[in-house]
Amino acid sequence: MYSAYVELDKSFKEKLITDYMPAVKAMAYRLKERLPSSVEFNDLVSIGYEELVKLSNRYDPKKNDNFWGYANKRIYGSMLDFLRSLDTLSRGDRKLVKELDKIIKEYINEYGTQPSNEYLSEVLDIDIEKIKKARCADEIYSVMPIEEQLNYYEDVSKKIEQEELINAIKSILKTLNKKEQLIIQLYYFEELSLKEIAEILEISESRVSQIHKKIIKKLRDKLNG
């Protein structure tokens, strides 16, 4: 009787894995669309599958009758943890990212498109590989929760507790104009790529990126003010 129960339980968990592998792959695909080319799609899928197996083993349908509701945020979180592990920037390098943001903003305002790495390397007189690394890290962190991005360059949470920080962010977001609010909604909650948002708003992808960075800076300035 016991062995039959074990086999049934094993079969149930294996079915969960098989049934939800396509959902994990779709999640990885959506996330990959928002990331630099250096991040491998297969790595995201592998991390997601690994977490799916762990969660299927822990899952108790008596406590939660919706497996995907139980698992999807945890699987997405495991992918974000993997992306965090790719960040090897020092404090000095993070200052470089801020410098790059300023130059890129000015370039977009003048030319309506993103500058090349060669251009940035020449302007800042910095090795192009260092430019690529900094821009890659910046792109990766753009998919992180807003409160985490605010702490990326300077730790605003030292002044504000986490729960207060989230409430403060929500309050500030309400003061944004309609286009800014829509970009935040589509990017962080609907998880659309900058390209998809650009098509919806009928503006360039560079312009969406610029507005997104402007919003993050506005939040950081108000919370530090």
Give the start-to-end residue ranges of the domains of the chain.
Answer: 2-85, 91-224
pLDDT of residue 183: 92
Mean pLDDT, 10 residues at a time, over the chain (225 residues)?
Answer: 49 89 95 91 97 91 87 94 83 80 86 89 91 88 80 56 72 88 89 91 89 84 71
Closest CA to 200 of 214, 185, 217: 185
Give the tens place of pLDDT for each residue, 203-216.
988 889 888 888 88
Query: Would you say 21 and 56 are in contact if contact means Cβ atoms under 8 Å apart?
Result: no
pLDDT of residue 162: 61
CB-based contacts of 184-187 (< 8 A; 24+ apart in sequence): 184/146, 184/215, 187/212
* pTM score, whole prediction: 0.76
The CATH classification number of 2-85 equals 1.10.1740.10
Which amino acid is residue 17, in one-letter code? Answer: I
CA atoms 71, 186, 204, 100: torsion sign: negative
pLDDT of residue 161: 62
How far apart CA 208 and CA 201 sit, in angstroms, is 9
pLDDT of residue 25: 97
Pick left, alpha or beta for residue 191 (phi over 0 → left; psi -120 to 50 → alpha; otherwise beta). left
Which amino acid is residue 184, in one-letter code? Answer: I
Fold of the CATH domain 91-224: Butyryl-CoA Dehydrogenase, subunit A; domain 3 (1.20.140)
